[in-house]
Structure 1
Amino acid sequence: MSAFFNLGKTRTFKPRKDVPEGTKQYQLRKYAEATLGSGNLRLAVRLPEGEDLNEWLAVHAVDFFNHLNMLYGTVTEFCTPQEASTSPSAACPIMSAGPRYEYLWEDGARYKKATKLPAPEYVDALMNWAQGLLDNEEIFPSEMGKPFGKTFRETIGRLFRRLFRVYAHLYSNHFEHICALGIEAHLNTSYRHFFLFVNEFDLVDKRELAPLDELNEAILAEDKSR
């Protein structure tokens, strides 16, 4: 996907490093890439027979993080804390998904209580928090045979829930900008894959997905008609 973006002028986060060749996660990533290439996203999200679910979740968490990182990177000049005179529609003084949904940030470290942040600061905090999780070998082990922690499922659910918020913000606040850049097809494909994966493994409470309910229903309806 990265070939479609001109990221030279955008602020982006460091992509999570690929797992080493020969590991189970590397093999699963190659399998996922192959099934994605078939164009059948429903098939692409299914757990391969005989494989470990935690490994499958971990591989996709890294990939969705990297894809979303690049997508958000394309609109950072539009996603600003204050209204810019050259682009008055670009102001994002709060992290929201339209007028009905506002998100507060809490990470238990720098922000110990739920805190209102401008969208770019919120996404900065979220992506840095996610980067820390993905780089933590105790949570996301890359060493073959090393077990996942007892709280992995809870952690992965929290990660996917927060990644969804960035997708929701992009659709609700920056879809016009995305279209102007000509990359709406890439956003749509990335989110469709993300939503089908989340739906397949029941990773995010449906109430959390409410900001994009109409889009989600359309994705499921299209998937059933195939």
Structure 2
Amino acid sequence: MSFFNSLGRSMTRGQRPKRSPTPTSATFPPTDTVSQNGAPPSPTVTAPKPLYLCSPFVEAALVKGNFKTIVMLPKYVDIMEWVAVNIFDFYTHLNEFYGVITECCTQQNCPTMSAGLTLNYTWINQDRKSVHLPAPTYIDYVMTWVQNLLDDENSFPTKSGQEFSPSFPSTVKHVYRQLLRVFAHIYHAHYTHLLHLRSEPHFNSLFAHFLAFGREYELLEVKDVKGSASAPVGVGLLWEKWKDMGLLEG
């Protein structure tokens, strides 16, 4: 099902639940964007295999089988409402996970928004300059921006009869990309904390669901989940592993 080819579909919508608060109260200008900046790889840098790629952690999940079955559009449901509700759910659950490990994600522990050995996401500020931010600041900007969008009836309408904006597909794709970066940082920098909490089956299932949904509705860009040869995204290998295991579509 192509999300971007289904703008004309609509249906009566019910009220969605109130959004959960972000971890902190920092504000984020909706016009800001982010860019990816990877440092050149060092030939002397070696690292052990990430735990999230190792057995039994890579197999840990609450859902068995292919995730495509749970992302398919239900009969008689408007596709944009389906996408909006799922994006809200992904944001809410990811926000809750981050809230649990936020004490570990500090400016001292995470001075950059890293998602791989040679990958740090950078922020484009109001002067259109690319700047490095500590991961907690970067994530707070993203989560606050998404929260504000979800609360905006013009962006995510909840009233019956109110139509989605023509810009909704591009907006939600941008939201998806930013949430993917938060997932990528947590896997890279904080997966051990999830293991200590025995939360890896829940987090793996959430991320696999997130990837399957993005693939199904054309929100996921392969370059965003895999990165480049010089700056690969750590979870790119996890994506490939889950495809090989039959959890995700190719």
What is the alpha-carbon distance in structure 1 between the residues aligned to residue 115 and residue 247 of structure 2?
27
1:147-158 to structure 2, matched below 5 A, reads 147-158=163-174
Structure 2: which amino acid aligns with 1:93? P
Task: Name structure 1 gaps, 5 residues minimum.
Answer: 1-21, 27-36, 83-90
What is the aligned counterpart of 2:240 among 217, 221, 226? 217
Q: Equivalent residue for 1:188?
A: 204
1:1-226 to structure 2, matched below 5 A, reads 23-24=13-14, 41-82=67-108, 91-106=109-124, 113-210=129-226, 211=233, 212-223=235-246
The number of equivalent residue pairs is 185
Structure 2: which amino acid aligns with 1:219? W
Does the Cα contact within 8 Å between 1:25 and 1:59 map onto a contact in 2? no
Structure 1: which amino acid aligns with 2:210? F
Task: Name structure 2 gaps, 5 residues minimum.
Answer: 1-11, 17-61, 227-232
Deviation at 1:46, TM superposition (A): 0.7
Higher relative contact order (CA 8 A, sep 6+): 2
What is the alpha-carbon distance in structure 2 between the residues aligned to residue 60 and residue 225 of structure 1?
17
Does the Cα contact within 8 Å between 1:42 and 1:223 map onto a contact in 2? no
Change (3 A) 1:168 1:65: same
Query: TM-score, with normalisation over the residues of structure 2?
Result: 0.68
Greater share of helix residues, 1 or 2?
Answer: 1
RMSD: 2.4
State, as a whole percentage, how many aligned pairs show the same letter: 37
Query: TM-score, with normalisation over the residues of structure 1?
Result: 0.75
Structure 2: which amino acid aligns with 1:138? N
Does the Cα contact within 8 Å between 1:106 and 1:113 map onto a contact in 2? yes
